C-alpha cells in the first residue's frame, strides 16, 4: 500500500549543523561598478631610477635675409645638432615615496572576475519557518499490514508534534546563477598591505624642445644673419625600482549593479535535523 499526503505544513525546521565540503563559484560578472570618494595611498621605502641617462640636445640654426633692389629672399638653415649625454647612474626620486590619490567617482562596466572555491564551510543553528510540502508518497516503495486487508483508508486532520532526523548527506546542489540587482558597500577600508618590491621595464622620456634662444648676429641693412640655439633634454632609465611598497585604500561607497554569480555546493552534511509541529490535512492509504 501507499500512503499519500497531498499537502503538509511544517511550522518549523531546525538544523543543528550544516557542513559544506566545497562551494564552487563560477565567473562573476558585474554589470556596473561604481566607487565614490575613493582614496588610495602608496608608500615606498625608496624609489630608484636605475642607469639614468640625461641627454642634452642643442640645435643650432641660422636665419638670413637679403634685400636688394632686384632680389629679395630669406630663410632658415640648420647648422648643427649637438647631443651631450650625462650618465647619472642610480638616481633616487624622493617624490615617489608617498603618493595620495583622491578619486571622486570611478565607474566601470562589464567587470569580470573569478573567486577561488570555498572549502569546509560550517553553518550552525539554521532554522526555516512555514515549510510546505505537496504530493508526498509515504513510503515510496509501499508497505503492508500482516493479517489485515484494507482497500483504502482516509485520515483527516493529522497532527504530528515533532520528528527528528539524525543526519543526511547531499552530494551536490546546483541551480541557476544568483543575480543581485544592486549591492552597496559603505565605508570600505582596505588596511595597509606590503607589496614587496616593484620593478618596471625601461623608461624613456622623449626629448622636449624649448623655444629658440638668440646667440647673436649682424645686419648691413640689405643683408643680415641671426644665429639661434634650441635646447632640449630627454631622459632614459633601464629600470624603475620601488622597494618596501605599502598600499592602503578606502572608499565611501562601492556600488555593484547586475551581479551574476554561478555557484555549486558539493558534499553537504546535515546533522541534528529537528522538525516541529507537522500539520497534515489528509492522509489517504490505497491498495495499489
179 neighbors 257 (Cβ within 8 angstroms): no
Q: Are residues 169 and 188 in the same domain?
A: yes
How many angstroms separate the CA atoms of 31 and 286, rounded?
54
Residue 147 φ then ψ, to 5°: 80, 5
Share of the chain above pLDDT 70, in %: 83
Q: Is residue 263 part of a domain?
A: yes
Q: Which domain, by its residues, includes 116?
A: 1-42+104-196+247-288
* Summary mean pLDDT of the chain: 80
Q: Are residues 60 and 180 in the same domain?
A: no
Residue 168 φ then ψ, to 5°: -155, 150
Q: Are residues 186 and 136 in the same domain?
A: yes
Q: Are residues 36 and 158 in the same domain?
A: yes
Q: How many CB atoms lie within 10 A of CB 161?
A: 8
Q: Are residues 146 and 288 in the same domain?
A: yes
Among residues 222, 189, 284, the alpha carbon closest in space to that of 64 is found at 222
* Domain count for the chain: 2
Q: Is residue 223 part of a domain?
A: yes
Q: Are residues 77 and 115 in the same domain?
A: no
Q: What is the pLDDT of residue 86?
A: 92
How many angstroms separate the CA atoms of 288 and 272, rounded?
35
pLDDT in tens, 74-116: 999 988 888 999 999 998 887 777 788 788 888 888 888 887 7
Q: Is residue 168 part of a domain?
A: yes
DSSP 141-183: T----TT---SEEEEEEEEEEEEEEEEEEEEEEE-SPEEEEEE
| Most confident option among 108-117, 224-233, 269-278 | 224-233
Which stretches of the chain are assigned E, i.e. beta strand? 2-25, 28-43, 46-67, 72-92, 98-113, 118-138, 152-174, 178-199, 203-209, 213-219, 223-237, 239-261, 263-286
Q: What is the pLDDT of residue 128?
A: 65
Q: Are residues 84 and 222 in the same domain?
A: yes
Q: Is residue 182 part of a domain?
A: yes
pLDDT in tens, 35-78: 888 888 888 878 889 999 999 999 999 999 999 888 889 999 98
Q: Is residue 133 part of a domain?
A: yes
- Which comes out higher in pLDDT, residue 149 or 57? 57
Q: Are residues 28 and 125 in the same domain?
A: yes
Q: Are residues 141 and 190 in the same domain?
A: yes
Sheet with strand 118-138: strands edge to edge: 118-138, 2-25, 263-286, 152-174
Among residues 197, 193, 194, 183, the alpha carbon closest in space to that of 250 is found at 193
Q: Is residue 185 part of a domain?
A: yes
Model confidence pTM above 0.85 = no
Which is it for the CA torsion 249, 253, 259, 265, positive or negative? Answer: positive
Helical segments of 193-234, H only: none
Q: Are residues 60 and 190 in the same domain?
A: no
Q: Exposure pattern of 1-36 as b/e (b: 16+ CB <10 Å)?
A: bebebeebebeebebeebebbebbbeebbbeebbbe
How many angstroms separate the CA atoms of 99 and 8, rounded?
64
Q: Is residue 242 part of a domain?
A: no
Among residues 88, 80, 90, 59, the alpha carbon closest in space to that of 208 is found at 59
Q: Are residues 67 and 28 in the same domain?
A: no
Q: Are residues 61 and 181 in the same domain?
A: no
Amino acid at each position: 500500500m501507499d500512503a499519500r499526503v497531498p499537502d503538509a505544513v511544517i511550522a518549523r525546521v531546525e538544523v543543528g549543523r550544516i557542513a559544506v565540503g566545497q562551494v564552487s563559484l563560477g565567473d562573476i560578472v558585474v554589470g556596473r561598478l561604481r566607487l565614490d570618494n575613493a582614496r588610495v595611498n602608496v608608500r615606498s621605502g625608496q624609489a630608484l631610477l636605475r642607469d639614468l641617462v640625461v641627454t642634452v640636445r642643442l640645435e643650432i640654426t641660422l636665419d638670413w635675409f637679403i634685400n636688394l633692389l632686384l632680389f629679395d629672399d630669406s630663410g632658415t638653415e640648420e647648422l648643427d645638432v649637438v647631443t651631450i649625454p650625462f650618465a647619472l647612474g642610480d638616481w633616487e626620486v624622493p617624490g615617489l615615496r608617498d603618493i595620495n590619490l583622491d578619486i571622486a567617482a570611478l565607474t566601470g562596466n562589464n567587470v569580470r572576475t573569478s573567486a577561488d572555491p570555498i572549502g569546509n564551510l560550517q553553518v550552525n543553528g539554521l532554522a526555516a519557518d512555514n515549510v510546505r510540502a505537496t504530493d508526498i508518497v509515504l513510503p515510496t516503495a509501499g508497505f503492508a499490514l500482516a493479517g489485515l486487508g484494507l482497500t483504502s483508508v482516509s485520515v483527516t486532520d493529522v497532527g504530528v508534534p515533532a520528528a527528528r532526523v539524525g543526519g543526511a548527506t547531499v552530494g551536490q546542489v546546483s541551480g541557476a546563477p544568483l543575480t543581485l540587482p544592486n549591492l552597496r558597500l559603505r565605508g570600505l577600508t582596505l588596511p595597509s598591505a606590503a607589496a614587496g618590491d616593484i620593478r618596471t621595464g625601461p623608461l624613456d622620456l622623449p626629448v622636449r624642445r624649448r623655444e629658440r634662444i638668440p646667440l647673436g648676429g649682424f645686419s648691413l641693412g640689405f643683408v643680415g644673419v641671426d644665429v639661434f640655439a634650441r635646447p632640449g633634454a630627454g631622459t632614459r632609465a633601464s629600470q624603475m625600482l620601488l622597494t618596501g611598497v605599502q598600499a592602503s585604500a578606502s572608499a565611501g561607497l562601492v556600488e555593484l549593479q547586475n551581479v551574476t554569480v554561478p555557484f555549486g555546493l558539493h558534499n553537504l552534511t546535515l546533522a541534528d535535523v529537528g522538525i516541529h509541529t507537522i500539520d497534515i490535512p489528509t492522509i489517504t492509504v490505497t491498495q495499489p
